[in-house]
Chain A
Amino acid sequence: MKTVCVVGASLAGLLTARALRGQGYAGRLVVIGEETHRPYDRPPLSKDYLKGVIGEADLALEGDGEDPAIEWRLGVAATGLDAAARRITLSDGTSIAADGIVIATGAAARRLPGTEGLRGVHTLRTLDDARALRGDLETAGRLVVIGGGFIGAEVAATARELGLDVTLVESGEAPLAGVVGLTMAHALAELHEKRGVRLIRGAYVTEVTGTGRADGVRLADGTHLPADVVVVGIGATPSTGWLEGSGVELGDGVVCDEGGGTSVPGIVAVGDCAAWFDPALGRHHRIEHWTGARQRATVAAATLLSGGTARPEPARPAYFWSDQFDVKIQFIGHARDADTVTVEEGDPAHNSFLAVYRQGDRPVAVLGVNQVRLFTRWRRHLETAPAQTG
């Protein structure tokens, strides 16, 4: 291969580029990024960056003096792909032909229809989003967060710590119930309520009110929640629009085998945009977690350089973390596979506990809340346990 083009300049793109160099690729390496920024770390955007504890320089993913000889094309988006010719067209009218392509375009925050052009309504995905939200929160008194996923729960916690009056609107029974299961989600919800977040469960938003600028949120039951700032955290959709009609198979994201190979030879996909085949689950699915992108970058690079003959190691269970208030939440595995969940250490009432999810006798997931040391032992136990298939 003489030219490899990585489309996407965030964690998955940078780490795959670095892995290509690490695995001996010495040819031309181009990285295309839609944002103008060099690769930065997104998890702090809803936490320490939003709180003002760390600055933009702290977000940089590249180390001092790091030089993997990358040709950066930042501030231009990929707009199309001719898969047969392996040619990528760009938003500035130019195009790049490559022998190998890494698709790492990530995902975009889902917006609430009808809020376009309304000031004071935010999503949080990029550094520019975080800058805008941070600025708006400085003068705001009341925040309404729509959606109790990770972004919603973290922004609610951060804003509360900044002294705002915070309401979190969740359509389900409790925030994060989809990932940690209902029992533990209730325990985590209490953490928010004890810290003064007003939590509204089972509620649907019908509109964000206001003219020119948002002044509140209306719920399906007619309740009106006044707000100076509204944050919409209702998930993300894979950024694969530029691949429509390219010949690369798309489903919920770019459909990949268990090594990141797409339906087109010489093209791999990695990160939030990629739905890898998971042998343990028996289906394709996207992992929208930081550690997923990190673990899979090395595999994707090997797949690309070997022409698909590299045998990937079995995928490890998804691990993620979340910091909310003074609580470190860590989770590994799949709660939905579990029949039972038991608290094995500590007490949810004291914000320090570890819960193990089991299917029969087999641990399938673990939740740690301020139990870093014990959680690490469990995480390695689950990561090194023989993979169960079927």
Chain B
Amino acid sequence: MIPACPLASLPRGEALRLDVDPPIAVFHTDDGDIFAIDDTCTHQDASLADGWLEGCEIECPLHASRFDLRTGQVDAPPAKRPVRTHRVVVEDGVICVVPSDAPPNLPPGVTLKGQA
């Protein structure tokens, strides 16, 4: 489990990038839900934490594919593979991410640091 940040320091509508490998993005939606997904768009190397959060969807800042934060599913090209989702728990006012065991869907040309 990775402690991300105190709940109070991530306002609604904001995102946080965790510099793990591969990076994870944590989102606090306008409705007050918290989600975590891999930060890298599955199409090309872009940080989804820099994208636009609307409802439960994050729009990639480069090419505007939208990922559903609940399922990781993508709506339209250029991305075509879902982004990996992670479980989030809030303990004692701290947001924590439980990293997924599933393999990540990293874009072509992007590898895990350990395998670069």
Could you list which residues of chain A lie within 8 angstroms of chain B, going by C-beta atoms? 11, 15, 41, 43, 48, 53-55, 58, 60-64, 290-291, 294, 319, 321, 328, 330, 372-373, 375-377, 379-380
Q: How far is the CB of A123 from chain B (nearest CB, A)?
A: 23
Q: Known contacts A48-B109, A53-B108, A54-B109: does B61 contact A373 (CB below 8 Å)? A: yes
B80 within 8 Å of A (CB atoms): yes
Residues of B within 8 A of A328 (CB): 62
B108 and A63: CB pair below 8 A? no
Check if A63 sits within 8 Å of B81, measured CB to CB. Answer: yes
The chain B residue sitting closest to A380, CB to CB, is: B52
- How far is the CB of B50 from the nearest CB of chain A, in Å? 4
- Write out the residue numbers on chain A whose beta carbons fall within 8 Å of the beta carbon of B64: 291, 294, 319
Kindly state whether residue B72 has any CB partner on chain A within 8 Å: no
| B77–A41 touching, CB < 8 Å | yes
B61 close to A61 (CB less than 8 A): no
For residue B87, CB closer than 8 A to chain A, the reply is no
Query: Cα distance A294–B81 when bound, in Å?
Result: 18
Task: Tell me if B47 and A372 are in contact (CB < 8 A).
Answer: yes
Q: How far is the CB of A297 from chain B (nearest CB, A)?
A: 9
> Which of B51, B77, B81, B108 contacts A54, CB < 8 Å?
B108
Shortest beta-carbon distance from B91 to chain A in Å: 29
**Across the two chains, which residue of chain A brings its CB closest to B109?**
A53
Nearest-CB distance from A281 to chain B (Å)? 22
Cα A48 to Cα B46 in complex, Å, equals 14
Contact of A321 among B51, B63, B77 (CB under 8 A): B63
Q: Which residues of A contact B46 (CB under 8 A)?
A: 372
**In whole angstroms, what is the CA distance A319 to B59 when docked?**
14
Does A321 contact B62, Cβ atoms closer than 8 Å?
yes
Known: A294-B64, A321-B62. A15 touches B52 (CB 8 A): no
Min Cβ gap B77→A in Å is 5
Which residue of chain B has the shortest Cβ distance to A47 in the bound complex? B44
Given A53-B109, A328-B62 in contact, is the A373-B80 Cβ separation under 8 Å?
no
A58 contacts B50, CB within 8 Å?
A: no
Complex CA distance for A375 and B63, rounded to whole angstroms = 12
A62 in contact with B47 (CB, 8 Å): no
Determine whether the beta carbon of A61 is less than 8 Å from that of B50. no
The CA-CA distance from A330 to B50 in the complex, in Å, is 14
Are A294 and B50 neighbours in the complex by a CB distance under 8 Å? Answer: no
- Minimum C-beta distance from A283 to chain B (A): 26
B78 within 8 A of A: yes
Question: Shortest 6 CB-CB distances between A and B: which pairs?
Answer: A63-B80, A373-B50, A376-B61, A54-B108, A58-B108, A53-B109
CB contacts (< 8 Å) of B94 on chain A: these are none
In the bound complex, how far is the Cα of B53 from the Cα of A377, in angstroms? Answer: 10
Contact status A294-B77, CB under 8 Å: yes
Q: Which residues of chain B from 52 to 72 have a CB within 8 Å of any chain A CB?
A: 52, 59, 61-64
- B2 at interface, CB cutoff 8 A: no
B76 at the A/B interface (Cβ < 8 Å)? yes
Beyond A61-B78, A321-B63, A328-B62: 12 further Cβ-contacts under 8 Å?
A43-B78, A54-B108, A61-B77, A61-B80, A64-B81, A294-B64, A294-B76, A319-B64, A372-B47, A372-B62, A375-B61, A380-B52
Contact residues in B for A294 (Cβ distance below 8 Å): 64, 76-77
| Residue of B44, B47, B77 contacting most chain A CB atoms (<10 Å) | B77
Known: A53-B108, A54-B109, A58-B108. A41 touches B78 (CB 8 A): yes
- Residue from B59, B61, B63, B78 having most chain A Cβ neighbours under 10 A: B61
Please measure, in the bound complex, the distance between the C-alpha atom of A58 and the C-alpha atom of B45, giving whole angstroms.
14
